[in-house]
Each structure stands twice: as C-alpha cells, then as structure tokens.
Amino acid sequence: MKPIIELKGVWKTYTMGDNEIHALSGITLSIHKGEFVAIEGPSGSGKSTCMNIIGCLDLPTKGEVLLEGIDIRSMSESDLAQRRGKKIGFIFQQFNLIPTLTAEKNITLPMIFLGTTKEEQRKRAEELLKLVKIDDRKDHLPGELSGGQQQRVAIARSLANNPEVIIADEPTGNLDSSTGKIVIEFLKEMNKKGKTIIIVTHDQKIGEQAKRTIYIKDGKIIKEIKRR
C-alpha cells in the first residue's frame, strides 16, 4: 500500500544574508493511512518545518513530497489547496481561531473554501460541536471561551472536511495537564476510528502516546521508535 504522505530526500534551506540555514537536511519519511505518529525534537530541531512540509503548507527546497503518490510540485496552487483541504486537518498550538467569528462559524470556515452548501456546513458543525462536547457554546466568540474550549473548537474545525490526516502542532502546549490529557485521548479515539494522526511535540510524555515516534535534531531524523 502506498504511503498517504511521503518525503524523499527533503531539504528546506533559508537564506539569511550570506548564510544558508538548513532547517531540514535530507529527510526521508513515509506515513501510512491509520498510523499514529509523533514527531519529537527540541526547539529549533526542524520539527515545525517538517510539519509544514508533511502538511503540504510549504514546498521543499530539494527533494520530493508525495501526497497519495502525487508530487505536490506537479500541482497548481489551487489544486494543492483543494487536495490539502480535503485530505489534511490542522490543529495549532495557538488555536488560530478567528476572534470575530463564533465557535460554529470557525468550524464551518474550512467547508466554505471547498464550496460546501450552507445547510451542509450548519449540519456538520452541529455534529462536530456535539462530538467535542461544546455544543452549548456554539454562539460564543473565542474570547468568551477557556483555553480548553478553544482547543475543542480547533479540533472540531480540523475535522470539518472529514480529512484522512490530522496534524496537531503541540496540541497541549497552551493547556493545563488535565485538559491536555483529554485532548490526547480524543486524538487516540480518532485514530481508532481510522484517522491518521501526526503530533508534533517537544514533550516526551506526549510522544510516548504514539505508536511510532520520529526524533528530529538539527534537521535530521536521528532515530525512530515503534510501539504496539
């Protein structure tokens, strides 16, 4: 079976003045449907850059990134945006909710970009609000919600287009430990239901929740641990 996302010899290089900074240095990595993977490393290791490449938010300087076997460089910008919107959902550490939109409207936003009808948007948002147990806050703005509630909205938004892959960037970073555990358990449940989960973290305890942990340092994969 082909990997759902594959990186082949990927480099990401930034030019700063006369210097070249290699954020990634020849990363090769395959992620298959239904996996639960953690990408772990200290600050500055290149894990966030790796997340952006895996999530097709950025293009590599060198190497190939394949989304379901297709090189993303061969796609037009609009085609890539459509495919990414359907296949990949993102959960960000800072939540990245639109402050002027209600919880419900934040969740429907990704559906608008794919041309979903308003009735479908409303129905799907209703389902997701119930799923993350925040349907009683659907008309609240982000500023009226706690950090845990905002993260629940962010999780629901990541599921809006029913993607196969969910990428979570430090999903517990801005939460207290008990709320963080709830978020991780929810992601594990999503994995049991067939979703491919990729967590980017610097926290060893979070990384140990995954079935496979990939350790990155100085832009390179230094080791990998598989768990049952």
- Yes or no: say if 11 and 26 are a contact pair by the CB < 8 Å rule: yes
How many structural domains compose the chain? 1
User: Residue 216 domain-assigned?
Assistant: yes
Helix H or strand E segment including 152: helix 147-158
User: Residue 9 domain-assigned?
Assistant: no
* Residue-wise burial string across 146-179, b where 16 or more C-beta atoms lie within 10 A, e elsewhere: eebbbbbbbbbbbbbbebbbbbbbbbbebbeeeb
User: Residue 8 domain-assigned?
Assistant: no
User: Residue 20 domain-assigned?
Assistant: no
Q: pLDDT tens digit string along 89-107?
A: 998 878 899 999 999 999 9
User: Residue 203 domain-assigned?
Assistant: yes
Q: What is the pLDDT of residue 114?
A: 84
- When pLDDT is averaged across residues 118-133 and rounded to a whole number, the result is 92
User: Which residues neighbour 223 within 8 Å (Cβ) at sequence distance 6 or greater?
Assistant: 215
- When pLDDT is averaged across residues 137-154 and rounded to a whole number, the result is 93
User: Residue 114 domain-assigned?
Assistant: yes
Residue 65 has pLDDT above 80, yes or no: yes
User: Residue 113 domain-assigned?
Assistant: yes
Residue 77: strand, helix, or coil = helix
Q: What is the pLDDT of residue 106?
A: 95
Q: Judging by beta carbons within 10 Å of its beta carbon (0-12, 13-18, 19+), is residue 135 exposed, middle or buried?
A: middle
Domain of 132, CATH number, reads 3.40.50.300
Q: Sort strands 5-16 and 19-31 into parallel, antiparallel or unpaired.
A: antiparallel
Provide the residue range defining the domain that includes 220: 34-48+77-226
- Entry pTM: 0.90
User: Residue 126 domain-assigned?
Assistant: yes
